[in-house]
């Protein structure tokens, strides 16, 4: 017996030659696996006459969709009524065998002209490796199917969030950013050994490094953008940086205007939480025309440095004045090297709160505040 059809899982066709899967559903039946093995009660018979898909092609990959096409022999092609698509995360190929036998595991689509678009945030996640195989099928009068053998298995990886998706995250972050507080410095906490290494091996200049995989799984800066992390949040009662830190007891402080000024561009990079009540916003500061600036310009929403909800830079009476959002924790990535001589290094007096570390932190996929309606 078929499960109810999900009527709105695919977008409308864009052209006669690019039909989109219509009436995509998960069938409440036991389909045969990729090796051709079937359960005895599957209700599916094999028919050699049905053509086996080959030369599978994946294209137009986004964070939550892809187009798929293949070649088929013309023999019995007119008998095909459906396509069975076996889609699995590459790192978890055997997950289906642990599911209850009545839980659907395959995608079933009506046979439409190829290529067709597979879209759905409930089973596709950004920046994730998948394997896919295809069968052709013919639905019989009694509701059973005859099927071809499985095609070869193809591997592909979904894409990062696009600017459109990041703009959706940006709009969500703006809602909770809160009022703006003044700041005067950016700061970076590390262990003493880090600053000693910078002096001895990098000529006193902190070097950009590749951002880790913390934050949203689809963030285009994770594992790609090179930069130096700074903080800028202040304590409400003192207007100064907090004395506690999860990253080390030594702090480099630098006047805000030396990193953030009219000669830099500001970009929104991410919005996330880690199963906590407070949220993080990642911003990128890049000197105009620098490699970091070119990287961000292609991938991230750009913010007006004078007027945004997170971090602003304005001139008042000939002096640069800076403000930051009160109700989010800002993580600022500066994309160029920074010489220690431009600021000061000193030991902090507070505690090292490791629970606040965001190193490779995983985003809470269930949070309604900081997730958008695409693959997590």
Q: What is the predicted pLDDT for the residue at 245?
A: 78
pLDDT at residue 357 in the model: 57
Hey, what domains does the chain have and what are their CATH numbers?
A: 54-158 (2.60.40.10), 163-356 (no CATH)
pLDDT by residue (tens digit) across 119-166? Answer: 875 678 898 899 999 999 999 888 888 999 999 999 999 999 999 999
Distance, CA of 347 to chain centre: 36
pLDDT at 268: 98
Which residues make beta-bridge pairs with 51?
none
**Residue 348 pLDDT level (bands cut at 50, 70, 90):** confident
Q: Cα-flanking dihedrals φ and ψ of residue 341, to 5°? A: -70, -15
Predicted pLDDT of residue 279: 94
Q: Which helix (H) or strand (E) holds 280?
A: strand 280-287
Q: Is the pLDDT of residue 103 over 70?
A: no
Query: Are 161 and 219 spatial neighbours (Cβ–Cβ below 8 Å)?
Result: yes
In sequence order, which residues have a C-beta less than 8 Å from that of residue 138 and are 6 or more positions away? 47, 50, 79, 80, 81, 82, 145, 146, 147
Mean pLDDT of the chain: 82
pLDDT band at 277 (very low <50, low <70, confident <90, very high): confident
> Are the beta carbons of 312 and 177 closer than 8 angstroms?
no
Q: What is the pLDDT of residues 203-233, one digit of tens each?
A: 999 999 999 988 898 999 999 999 999 999 9
Peptide bond connecting 339 to the previous residue in cis, omega within 30 degrees of 0: no
End-to-end Cα spacing for the chain: 31
Is residue 42 predicted with pLDDT exceeding 60?
no
Is residue 274 classed as helix, strand or coil in its secondary structure? coil
Residue range 255-278: mean pLDDT, rounded? 94
Burial status of residue 343 (CB atoms within 10 A of its CB: 0-12, 13-18, 19 or more):
buried
pTM comes to 0.79
| Closest alpha carbon to 323 in 306, 340, 339 | 306
* CA dist 56 → 47, 59, 70, 128, 277 (Å): 21, 10, 4, 19, 45
**Which pLDDT score, from 0 to 100, does residue 353 have?**
56
User: What local confidence, expressed as pLDDT, does residue 66 receive?
Assistant: 93
Rounded to whole angstroms, how far apart are CA atoms 370 and 275? Answer: 11
Edge-to-edge order in the sheet of strand 54-59:
54-59, 65-71, 116-119
Confidence of residue 34 (pLDDT cuts 50, 70, 90): low
- DSSP string across 100-156: -TTS--SEEEE--SSSEEEE-TTT--TT-EEEEEEEEEEE-TTS-EEE------EEE
Q: Which pLDDT belongs to residue 31?
A: 42
């Amino acid at each position: 017996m078929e499960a109810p059809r999900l009527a709105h899982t695919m977008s409308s066709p864009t052209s006669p030659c690019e039909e989109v899967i219509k009436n995509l559903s998960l069938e409440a039946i036991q389909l045969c696996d990729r090796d051709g093995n079937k359960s005895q009660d599957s209700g599916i018979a094999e028919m050699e006459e049905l053509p086996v898909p080959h030369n599978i092609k994946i294209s137009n990959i986004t964070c939550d969709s892809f187009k798929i096409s293949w070649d088929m022999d013309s023999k019995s092609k007119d008998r095909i009524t459906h396509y069975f698509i076996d889609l699995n995360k590459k790192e978890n190929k055997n997950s289906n065998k642990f599911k209850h036998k009545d839980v659907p595991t395959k995608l079933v689509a009506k046979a439409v002209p190829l290529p067709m678009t597979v879209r759905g945030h409930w089973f596709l996640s950004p920046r994730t490796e998948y394997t896919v195989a295809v069968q052709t099928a013919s639905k019989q009068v009694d509701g059973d199917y005859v099927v071809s053998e499985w095609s070869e298995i193809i591997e592909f990886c979904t894409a990062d969030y696009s600017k459109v998706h990041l703009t959706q995250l940006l709009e969500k972050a703006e809602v909770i950013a809160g009022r703006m507080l003044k700041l005067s410095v950016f700061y970076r906490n590390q262990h003493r050994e880090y600053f000693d290494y910078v002096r001895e091996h990098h000529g006193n200049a902190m070097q950009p490094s590749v951002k880790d995989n913390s934050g949203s799984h689809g963030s285009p800066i994770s594992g790609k953008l090179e930069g130096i992390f700074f903080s800028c949040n202040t304590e409400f009662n003192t207007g100064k940086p907090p004395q506690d830190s999860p990253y080390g007891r030594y702090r480099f402080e630098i006047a805000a205007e030396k990193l953030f000024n009219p000669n830099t561009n500001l970009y929104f990079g991410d919005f996330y939480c880690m199963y906590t009540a407070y949220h993080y916003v990642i911003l990128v500061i890049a000197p105009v025309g620098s490699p970091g600036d070119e990287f961000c310009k292609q991938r991230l929403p750009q913010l007006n440095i004078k007027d945004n909800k997170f971090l602003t830079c304005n001139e008042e009476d000939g002096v640069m004045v800076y403000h930051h959002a009160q109700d989010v924790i800002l993580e600022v990535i500066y994309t160029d090297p920074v010489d220690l001589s431009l600021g000061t290094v000193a030991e902090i007096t507070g505690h090292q709160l490791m629970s606040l570390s965001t190193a490779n932190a995983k985003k809470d996929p269930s949070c309604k505040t900081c997730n958008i309606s695409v693959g997590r």
